Amino acid sequence: MEFEELESLRGIPKKIYEEIDENKKINTLLKMSNVMAVGRLGYNDHGKTHAKIVANNAIKMLKILYKKGILPSFMRDCKGTFDDSLTITLLGAYLHDIGNSIHRDIHHLHSSYLALGIIEEILKRHYKEEKAYQLTTEILHAIYSHSEGIMGLTIEAGVVAVADGTDMTKGRSRVPICKKCYDIHSVSAASVEKVEIKEGDEKPIHIEVILSNEAGIFQIQEVLGEKIKWSGIKNYVSVYAKVKKEKPVFEEITI
**Span 76-134, pLDDT tens digits:** 999 999 999 999 999 999 999 999 999 999 999 999 999 999 999 999 999 999 999 99
Residue 68 confidence (pLDDT): 98
Which pLDDT value is given to residue 87?
A: 99
pLDDT tens string, the chain, 255 residues long: the values are 689 999 999 999 999 999 999 999 999 999 999 999 888 987 778 899 999 999 999 999 999 999 999 999 999 999 999 999 999 999 999 999 999 999 999 999 999 999 999 999 999 999 999 999 999 999 999 999 999 999 999 999 999 999 999 998 876 654 444 455 556 667 787 889 999 999 999 999 999 999 998 888 988 998 899 999 999 999 999 999 999 876 666 665 545
**Would you state the pLDDT for residue 251?**
63
Dihedral sign from CA coordinates of 127, 132, 134, 138: positive
How many other CB atoms sit within 10 Å of the CB of residue 37? 23
pLDDT (0 to 100) of residue 58: 98
Q: Looking at residue 245, what is its pLDDT?
A: 74
Question: Sign (positive/negative) of CA torsion 161, 162, 163, 166?
Answer: positive
pLDDT at 172: 61
DSSP character at residue 240: E
69: left (phi over 0), alpha (psi -120 to 50) or beta: left
Q: What pLDDT score was predicted for residue 180?
A: 53
The pLDDT value given to residue 35 = 95
**Cβ neighbours of residue 57 closer than 8 Å, sequence gap 6 or more:** 5, 162, 163, 166, 167, 197
- Determine the pLDDT at residue 61: 99
pLDDT of residue 248: 65
Phi (first) and psi of residue 240, to 5 degrees: -125, 130
Q: How far is CA 222 from the centre of its chain?
A: 15
Looking from the CA of 97 toward its CB, the CA atoms found within 13 Å total: 31
For 97, phi then psi, to 5°, come to -110, 10
